């Protein structure tokens, strides 16, 4: 057999191995234990957060030999076939390439037949938002009065495009981006098992680059192992992906809050020399400002007004950076403009001072 990448080898095979979706796991496992299983589910969220994996685990739990049960054996023949996508009673469909009304009508015809071996016939439709309106309407017919042996699991990265009448007939679960702490802990476990030593700064950079997606984080780790071998240091990750260090991002945000435009120019000038990705830097700055705002509000710190003003000015900056001819200049101008706007005091603050 060929080599399997980390993202495939370390894909969860049990509910307990899933990371960062505890509320969803709790709801689904309770539904299984209490035999309150709906006929249709909608899993929505950004890429790499576990939607398709959860769909497979749920299908395994429902169709395992002695199920439905949350304590299934992933190596049991039925579960193994479901996991590999080869079982006749669990059909995975790519909504992006099978989105026509004729294909949905063919699916409806399959729903008539009883399962060949399992308890349920389960249809997992990935990227369901890619279906045409005619296909959605054809799907709606079977969702209104589904056979008792049929279950649907829909997955999407854009739930707003799913027909509201479809959504209303599903139990909806929103998969949240996985926190950096949980992602870092999981990556550390994987690195140890793979015999890889990774510096804390390098681990932070990987989780920052992943943007809340565990699959992306594992793919980045795989790439860094190919680049660095068994020892991964922070400078290698920063160099590979043209990232600014966490310390530099924090220093720049300090300069923004303190309205120190000279310091901002010095840091961004260094980034230009190192050819740092301005789009990624803009994301990192915005995320650091958001963390500072939460902390400032909790502590009722005086800089919270300045942070709000900075975020308001920088809102939409990422969109401009993604299409800019010279993104490094666009970033500098946006940062200096944010400082200028934060210097003006809101009228409410002036009135309080006068009083």
* pLDDT tens digits along 18-27: 998 999 999 9
Q: Are residues 100 and 193 in the same domain?
A: no
Q: Are residues 200 and 282 in the same domain?
A: no
pTM for the model: 0.87
Q: Are residues 22 and 158 in the same domain?
A: yes
Classified as helix, coil or strand, 266 is helix
Q: Are residues 160 and 21 in the same domain?
A: yes
Residue 274, domain extent? 246-350
Strand partners, 174: 44
> Residue 273: what pLDDT?
93
For residue 255, pLDDT beyond 70: yes
| Each residue's pLDDT tens digit, 109-137 | 889 889 989 999 999 999 999 999 999 99
- Domain count across the chain: 3
Domain of 225, CATH number, reads 1.10.8.60
Where do we find the tokens 């000038």? 269
| Each residue's pLDDT tens digit, 25-84 | 999 999 999 999 999 999 999 999 999 999 999 999 999 988 899 999 999 999 999 999
| Last residue within a domain, chosen from 215, 241, 267 | 241
Per DSSP, the chain holds a count of helices (H) and strands (E) of 18, 7
| Each residue's pLDDT tens digit, 185-232 | 999 999 999 999 999 999 999 999 998 999 999 999 999 999 999 999
Q: Are residues 223 and 268 in the same domain?
A: no
The pLDDT confidence band at residue 349, using thresholds 50, 70 and 90, is low
Q: Cα–Cα distances in Å, from 60 out to 70, 114, 124, 225?
A: 9, 18, 12, 32
Domain of 53, CATH number, reads 3.40.50.300
| Each residue's pLDDT tens digit, 266-285 | 999 999 999 999 999 999 99
For residue 352, pLDDT beyond 90: no
| Last residue within a domain, chosen from 150, 175, 200 | 175
Q: Are residues 19 and 167 in the same domain?
A: yes
* CB 41 within 8 Å of CB 31: no
| Last residue within a domain, chosen from 160, 175, 190 | 175
Q: Which of left, alpha, beta for 259 (phi over 0: left; psi -120 to 50: alpha)?
A: left
Q: Are residues 271 and 236 in the same domain?
A: no
Dihedral sign of CA atoms 56, 183, 29, 158 in order: negative
- The pLDDT mean for the chain works out to 91
Domain assignment present for residue 1? The answer is: no
């Amino acid at each position: 057999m060929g080599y399997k990448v980390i993202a495939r080898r370390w894909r969860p095979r049990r509910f307990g191995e899933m990371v960062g979706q505890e509320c969803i796991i709790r709801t689904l496992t309770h539904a299984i234990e209490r035999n309150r299983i709906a006929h249709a589910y909608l899993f929505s969220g950004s890429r790499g957060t576990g939607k398709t994996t959860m769909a497979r685990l749920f299908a395994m739990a429902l169709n395992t030999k002695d199920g439905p049960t949350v304590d299934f054996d992933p190596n049991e023949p039925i579960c193994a076939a479901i996991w590999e996508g080869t079982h006749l009673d669990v059909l995975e469909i790519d909504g992006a390439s099978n989105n026509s009304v004729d294909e949905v009508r063919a699916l409806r015809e399959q729903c008539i037949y009883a399962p060949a071996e399992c308890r349920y016939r389960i249809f997992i439709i990935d990227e369901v938002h890619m279906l045409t309106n005619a296909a959605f309407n054809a799907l709606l017919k079977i969702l209104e009065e589904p056979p008792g042996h049929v279950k649907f699991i829909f997955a999407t990265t854009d739930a707003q495009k799913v027909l509201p009448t479809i959504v209303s007939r599903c139990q909806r679960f929103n998969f949240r981006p996985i926190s950096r702490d949980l992602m870092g802990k999981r990556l550390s476990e994987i690195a140890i098992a793979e015999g890889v030593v990774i510096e804390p700064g390098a681990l932070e950079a990987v989780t920052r680059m992943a943007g809340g997606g565990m699959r992306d984080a594992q793919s980045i780790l795989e790439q860094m192992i190919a680049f660095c071998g068994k020892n991964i240091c922070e400078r290698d990750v920063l160099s590979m992906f043209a990232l600014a260090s966490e310390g530099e991002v924090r220093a720049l945000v300090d300069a923004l809050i303190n309205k120190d435009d000279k310091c901002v120019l010095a840091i961004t000038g260094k980034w230009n020399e190192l050819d740092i990705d301005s789009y990624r830097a803009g994301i990192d700055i915005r995320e650091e400002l958001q963390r500072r705002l939460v902390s400032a509000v909790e502590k009722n710190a005086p800089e919270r007004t300045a942070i709000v003003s900075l975020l308001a000015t920088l809102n939409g900056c990422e969109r401009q950076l993604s299409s800019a001819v010279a993104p490094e200049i666009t970033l500098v101008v946006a940062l200096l403009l944010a400082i200028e706007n934060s210097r003006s005091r809101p009228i409410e603050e002036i009135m309080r001072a006068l009083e």
